[in-house]
Amino acid sequence: MHSNESAEDSLLRRETLSGQSHLLHGLPAELIRHVALHSTERTLRDKDVLFLKHDPDDFIALVIAGQIYTVLYGPDGRELIINDIGSGEVVGETALIQPSRRETSAYASGPTQVLILSRRHFAPLIANPTFLERALALLCSRLREASSFVEMVCLHRLESRLARYLLASLAQDASASDAASAALPANQSILAAMLNASRPKLNAQLQSWKRQGLISCRSDRILINDIGQLRRMAELPSGAVSPR
């Protein structure tokens, strides 16, 4: 609850925030209120943990502000970012269908707020056909994303992976004032973890493209000077993973 906020004001605010979630938007008012009544608001700082791999799969989190990354860690400590989940989206959706143990860890990227709903409060939601259809569609979407991600990191060279990332960022970044301008994560280490690359290799690839005139850098954005060339790179298959 925010300071100087009454219990009723807090409830109304959580109702509004819940209703803005892609998973809950347009559902009956009583379901939105159910989520608002039983959810817990949590504020995370940068790199705060939401859950860890092997934790019980016993809640979902609605991201109401900020960003959550889901991550796998290798035995050498290298991290691989599997999903980038922003405002309006859901984290931990497998708890809705077949809860077990978490397969990834999740942490905040920058200041982040979430509404956490425990599994013991899922029943009224699961009983609603529209919600259940959306939950299943979300799980299918995440499965397709995982399959595409495995293909990208295992079968494509770094230049192709980076090109695909930038093209996807162009398609998703509705706030971009320049149609050929792609937003970047907070730092290069995060981008490297998204692409399953070492930071030196990623930096070398970016510098090479800058020298070729393919891209230009502007604060937290990359300007694409030759989208056609980038698209051709994105389609280049490779029989082996590039060295890292």
How is residue 216 written in tokens?
Answer: 């230009």
Residue 198 shares a structural domain with residue 142: no
Residue 126 shares a structural domain with residue 226: no
Which CATH number is 177's domain given? Answer: 1.10.10.10
Residue 167 shares a structural domain with residue 123: no
Residue 142 shares a structural domain with residue 55: yes
For residue 240, being part of any structural domain is answered with no
Residue with more model confidence, 129 or 194? 129
Which structural domain, as residue segments, surrounds residue 162? Answer: 156-234
For residue 146, being part of any structural domain is answered with yes
Mean pLDDT of 88-110: 91
- 229 residue type, one letter: Q
Residue 52 shares a structural domain with residue 122: yes
Residue 137 shares a structural domain with residue 204: no
Instruction: Give the pLDDT confidence of 182-191 residue by residue, as tens digits.
Output: 877 878 888 8
What are the strands, taking DSSP E only, across the chain?
A: 40-44, 49-51, 59-65, 67-73, 79-86, 90-91, 105-108, 112-118, 181-183, 215-218, 221-224
Residue with more model confidence, 4 or 177? 4
Give how far the C-alpha of residue 181 lies from the chain's centroid of Cα atoms, to the nearest Å. Answer: 20
What percent of the chain stands above pLDDT 90? 47
Beta bridge partners of 216: 223
Residue with more model confidence, 46 or 219? 46
Residue 25 shares a structural domain with residue 98: yes
Mean pLDDT of 102-123: 95
Residue 204 shares a structural domain with residue 218: yes
Residue 206 shares a structural domain with residue 165: yes
Mean pLDDT of 11-38: 93
3-state secondary structure of 41: strand
What is the per-residue pLDDT for 3?
60
Residue with more model confidence, 146 or 66? 66
Mean pLDDT of 235-239: 49
Write the DSSP symbol of residue 111.
S
238 pLDDT more than 60: no
Domain count, the chain: 2
What is the per-residue pLDDT for 171?
62
* Mean pLDDT, the chain, integer: 86
For residue 239, being part of any structural domain is answered with no
Which CATH number is 134's domain given? Answer: 2.60.120.10
Instruction: Give the pLDDT confidence of 126-137 residue by residue, as tens digits.
Output: 999 999 999 999
CA–CA distance, 224 with 239 (Å, rounded to integer): 27
Of 98, 131, 154, which closes a domain?
154
What is the per-residue pLDDT for 5?
73
45 pLDDT more than 60: yes
For residue 241, being part of any structural domain is answered with no
